[in-house]
Amino acid sequence: MGNLFNNYEEACAIILFGIGFTTLLLHRNMIKKIIGFSMMDSAIYLFLAAKGYIAGRKAPIVVSVSVTALMLALTVRLYRRYHTLDIDEITMQARREEA
Amino acid sequence: MQLWQNLPFAMILLPLASASLTSILKGKAARRAALTVITLVTLMAAALVIFMQGYGQSYTFMMGHFPAPWGNEIRAGMLEAVTALCFALVMLFSVMGGLRDIEHDILPDRQNLYFVMCELTTAALMAQVFTNDVFTGYVFLEIMTIAACALISARTKGRTLVAATRYMIMNLVGSGLFLLGLTLLYDLTGHLLMSNIQEKIIALSATGKYQQPLTMVIALVTIGLGIKSALFPFHTWVPDAYSSSTPTSSAILSSLISKGYIFLLIKFYYRVFGLREVVNAQVEDVLLVFGAAGAVIGSVLAIRQLDIRRMIAYSSVAQIGYIYMAIGLGTQSGMTAALFQLMAHAICKSLLFIATGGLCAASGEKRGFTSLRGAAYRNPVAGAAFVVGAFSMIGIPFLSGFVVKLAYAEAAVLWGGPRMITVLAVLAISTMLNAIYFGRTVVTLFRLSEEKIAQQQKWHSGPCFAVACAALSLLTFALGLAADPVLAAIRSGLEMFS
Amino acid sequence: MAKQRNDYENSWFPRLQRWIAQGGTRLSDQMTEELSEASDAHRVLSAEDVARREVEQAVHQLEIQEHEAALYERAHQWGRTKGAKLIRAFYAVLAVLMCVSVIAVLLTTVSNLPSFGGENNPINNEVSQRYIEKGLQETGAVNIVAGMILDYRAFDTLGESHVLFIAACAVMILLRLSDSGDPRQLSRERMEAEANDRLYEPKNDIILQRVAGILVPIIMLFGVYVLFNGHLGPGGGFSGGAVIGAGLILYLNAYGFAATERFFTIKTFRAVSFIALAFYALAKSYSFFCGANHLNSGIGLGTPGDIFSSGLILYLNIAVGMVVACTMYAFYTLFRKGDM
Amino acid sequence: MELLNIMLLVFILVCAVSVSLTKDLLTSLIIFMSQSLAMAVIWILLESPDLAITEAAVGAGVTSLLMFVTLKKIHAIKEDPKDGETKE
């Protein structure tokens, strides 16, 4: 446990990753899940940059934006179709139509 | 640097460049452009296999002016060439087989975007097969995830959107963990090239430093890629994703995209960590247990299904469990069996999905077993293709499934002890379960009273469909009868793989 | 010659055969009544017999449907009431437990990692040494990062710009109001999208227009500056493109779609992204091809420090900037109006 | 400089926890926006200005903007934002 304190950047990135992951799991609302996702992604980029990644990668931030945009597009279409943001409710309605 | 060694570079860049071209073409022209590009890639893959036999050992191709640890690099060997050929063939026949459904289901002005997705999936697959750089693997893994989500949601019906959302949620968690593993790997070794990383890891394990983070890296990479390739406990998104969208998307998703991730995992085990490192990190036993559980439970769930495409989706969960079980053996022969199953299953599963597309089209787009009764008479080509696919999945001799099960048994017997018993038991149980649900489906397709057979109106699925079904069935027979050259190629490929 | 026993019929073997003959194997419930139906198929069925059987089967199907609907209702009710809370509470506890354990494991991993900024970290090895020292001579770019992204590891960046392109295509598949559907249904959808637009958005808000009038030129200037000086100072394709995209979105918000449609429609989006990506792929495959086969690619590096130095990096930056700007703008307009 | 780094990291963690605790979508979105702005400042402290510009323009700008448009499309924001109560 020695250098957990001088590695405090990475420790904080991991805690942020955990919080994002918990938000993703606990909330049933689609928008909250997407916010949880982008928090997990920015935590990983913080971890990446804290490692002194010489390339100063700016590309992954673009990947996370495009993924967020795709998820938001799916949410808009789902809302138009099922009129709710609750993912469990949506799956229940989809399954009932299927039966 | 002979000219033919530029083939892998061309196989990645050609679909990538033509994707932006297809996005501005209209429906018909886009279809022609996509088919010609994928055919070209298949021909290049075949040429590469022929040259590779003469060449004998793997070579690296510098992407740019700077040698290995600084610039990017791709590496081609016998195993990569054979896998690339198999992937390209399956992609070509999946797209050809599902052409009618693409025109029927997807709105006209979005069809060219659908073909853009197919081309970019081909480019990403080739890049993952040939890459020798960890971060390039992540980038093209991301391209495949978004392409797969677009392929699922191409039909924009209610159910496909739910399936696409669940697919994205699970896969993003998977690629997040994978990137976390890569970052740790970069921090421990300072390199991004697979061969350099292995030298550093051997040095690390010699000095015994950073052992706990190293095991953590192997675990993160395995879980990340396991989630993305529908390993057993993370397979909940599979039935919706594979069964709701067009037959081509299901074929591409189930046989190509999950296989690309598994091939990347095998490359990580061989070229980044080294098999010895992975074995003494006890990851192998976990994979064996999950694979075995997946194989049995996947088949049991498949029996319960009333919708034919969900049944095939569950059967592909079982087959992926098979592959992970073979990887879990951790020996050379286990890996050979896993790679052969990877190719045989890719061909067989796309054959099944394309044939089911034809059968459902013949029985009025309904997928329940009751409405599919006698569909084989309405669409004889699809019926014959389905029978070949089903028998190969069961493991009838002279078909690829039989050789797969033979290779598994051989790998298990070589290992001996409790693992042999588990693998052989799982082989027996799941073969019997496969026989039940595939047999039942084949019986349903052909079971119709005589006078009803006469009045069935024939359904013509077009020449492309027939060519695709015939080609995939021939490939299944070829793998069944002439399996030795392919197995020899895989073994020699594995020698020069690490 | 063995004499057949007189009670042979009821000994176990023929009884087994008879049992099998009656189709003893257990098939799923749908199959069983079909099998029994097949066995009497040999007798010629009269027409009304067949009709009666069909009606009977239809009724049977209806029963199954109702039974399942009732099942869902009950499951749904149970889901709403006490059961749901139980499951959700259990699920929440399990989720939190799993996350805490994942974080704990990762934190122990982090504690064993090389310390932040230590000199003998494995990262400061010969790879980063060469990037820093020889970066300027080899790529001609003063800003090592831009040189690195577009020359040393150009293949990753090629992949990443295609990630953006594919995300734009995917959002287009999902959200675009296609102009080829049936006109009546389409016009209702377009009307709804348009109406929704005006309802919440005050069209010509004087304050926004005045501020945008001042800000947009500055943002665009800054974006173009960042784009063109990618290889000299901090910046480059992605940053410049993102800033220009943000500027375009601000301009759209202030002056509405009529103003932006003068210069930016779906056709310009397609043309710009095709030209930029095609140029990018061609330029990079040329340099890969020359690099791999050790040919001299003949692209001069120019004198470091002035705009037109460092070979292709400036033009690649512009191409990537165009792709990023168009995609950001496309995301916004597809979400807002479903069309450019 | 070290202190600023630590303060920003604590600010981001507090933002992350508060996002998952707030009921209202709009508030959680604004908190998320401020968090990515703080992230942009951290990139500067970690000596990667390119990432800072991209994160500011893309992370704080376009992502949050898209989420606002999604909320608007989903009528989650009522006409009079006074009550701010949204359908969960």
Contact C242 D65 (CB under 8 A): no
Which chain B residue has the Cα nearest residue A66?
Answer: B146
How far is B415 from B413, CA to CA, in rounded Å?
A: 5
Q: Whole-prediction pTM value?
A: 0.87
Residue A88's contacts (CB-CB under 8 Å, 6 or more residues apart) are A28
Please check whether residue D58 lies inside any domain of the structure: yes
Contact C243 D48 (CB under 8 A): no
| Residue B72 bridge partners (DSSP) | B63
Residues of C in contact with A77 (CB under 8 A): 174-175
Query: Sign (positive/negative) of CA torsion B352, B353, B356, B357?
Result: negative
- Residue with token string 């998952």: D20
Which residue type occupies B233?
A: P
Residue B361 CA: distances (Å) to CA of B101, B292, B365, B444, C59: 8, 35, 5, 16, 26
Is residue C269 within 8 A of residue C340, CB to CB? The reply is: yes
How far is D48 from D41, CA to CA, in rounded Å?
A: 10
What is the per-residue pLDDT across A21-64, written as a single tens digit (0 to 9) for each?
999 988 888 999 999 999 999 998 888 888 765 554 556 788 88
Residue B5 pLDDT > 50:
yes
At least 3 CB pairs under 8 A between chains C and D: yes
Counting residues of chain C whose pLDDT is more than 90, the rounded percentage is 17
**B173/C contact by beta carbon, under 8 A:** no
SS3 label, residue C324: helix
**A10/D contact by beta carbon, under 8 A:** no
- Residue D44 is predicted with a pLDDT of 86
Residues of C in contact with D70 (CB under 8 A): 335
- Residue B200 is predicted with a pLDDT of 86
- Residue D29 is predicted with a pLDDT of 92
Which residue type occupies C311?
A: G
What is the per-residue pLDDT across B404-447, written as a single tens digit (0 to 9) for each?
999 999 999 888 788 889 899 999 999 999 999 999 899 888 88
Per-position DSSP letters for A14-83, written without gaps between them: HHHHHHHHHHHHH--BHHHHHHHHHHHHHHHHHHHHHTT-TT---HHHHHHHHHHHHHHHHHHHHHHHHS
Q: Quote the tokens at residue B241.
A: 């994703």
Residue B260's contacts (CB-CB under 8 Å, 6 or more residues apart) are B87, B124, B125, B128, B129, B141, B144
| pLDDT-based confidence at residue C45 (cuts at 50, 70, 90) | low
Residue B353 pLDDT > 80:
yes
Disruptive mutation site among C100, C107, C131 for chain A (greatest number of A CBs within 10 Å): C107
- Residue with token string 């095709």: C274
Contact C235 D72 (CB under 8 A): no
- Give residue D30's domain range: 15-73
Counting one residue from C and one from D, how many pairs have CB atoms under 8 Å apart?
53
3-class SS letters over chain B: CCHHHHHHHHHHHHHHHHHHHHCCCCHHHHHHHHHHHHHHHHHHHHHHHHHHHHHCCCEEEEECCCCCCCCEEEEECHHHHHHHHHHHHHHHHHHHHCHHHHHHHCCHHHHHHHHHHHHHHHHHHHHHHHECEHHHHHHHHHHHHHHHHHHHHHHCCHHHHHHHHHHHHHHHHHHHHHHHHHHHHHHHHCCCEHHHHHHHHHHHHHHCCCHHHHHHHHHHHHHHHHHHCCCHHHCCCHHHHHHHCCHHHHHHHHHHHHHHHHHHHHHHHHHHHCHHHHHCCCHHHHHHHHHHHHHHHHHHHHHHCCEHHHHHHHHHHHHHHHHHHHHHHCCHHHHHHHHHHHHHHHHHHHHHHHHHHHHHHHCCCCCECHHHCCHHHHCHHHHHHHHHHHHHHHCCCCCHHHHHHHHHHHHHHHHCHHHHHHHHHHHHHHHHHHHHHHHHHHHHHHCCCHHHHHCCCCCCCHHHHHHHHHHHHHHHHHHHHCHHHHHHHHHHHHHCCC
Residue ranges of the domains in chain A?
2-98
Q: Which CATH number fits domain A2-98: 3.40.50.720, 1.20.1050.10, 1.10.287.3510, 3.30.565.10?
A: 1.10.287.3510
Is residue B47 within 8 A of residue B10, CB to CB? The reply is: no
| pLDDT-based confidence at residue C71 (cuts at 50, 70, 90) | confident
Picking from C331, B109, B163, C163, the residue whose alpha carbon sits closest to that of residue A72 is C331
* DSSP H or E stretch at residue C86: helix C82-111
Query: Cα torsion at B428, B432, B437, B438 (round to 10°)?
Result: 80
Residue C109 pLDDT > 60:
yes
Please check whether residue D63 lies inside any domain of the structure: yes
Is residue C122 within 8 A of residue B188, CB to CB? The reply is: yes
How far is C70 from C52, CA to CA, in rounded Å?
A: 27
What is the per-residue pLDDT across B144-203, written as a single tens digit (0 to 9) for each?
999 999 999 988 777 889 999 999 999 999 999 999 998 888 888 878 888 888 888 888
Residue C118's contacts (CB-CB under 8 Å, 6 or more residues apart) are none
For chain B, positions 99-118, list CB contacts with chain C under 8 A. 107-110, 113-114, 116-117
Is residue C163 within 8 A of residue A60, CB to CB? The reply is: no
Residue ranges of the domains in chain B?
334-498
SS3 label, residue C179: coil
Q: For A61-65, B148-152, C268-272, D34-38, which range has the lowest pLDDT when averaged over its residues?
A: A61-65
Residue B128 CA: distances (Å) to CA of B7, B259, B299, C26, C308: 15, 10, 29, 46, 35
Measured from the Cβ of residue D20, the count of other Cβ atoms closer than 10 Å reads 19
Please check whether residue D4 lies inside any domain of the structure: no
**CA distance to partner chain A, nearest, from residue B153 (Å):** 9
Residue D77 pLDDT > 60:
no
Number of structural domains (chain D) is 1
Residue C43 pLDDT > 70:
no
Residue B182 CA: distances (Å) to CA of B175, B185, B203, C165, C266: 10, 5, 18, 24, 38
Which chain A residue has the Cα nearest residue D29?
Answer: A35
- Residue C231 is predicted with a pLDDT of 78
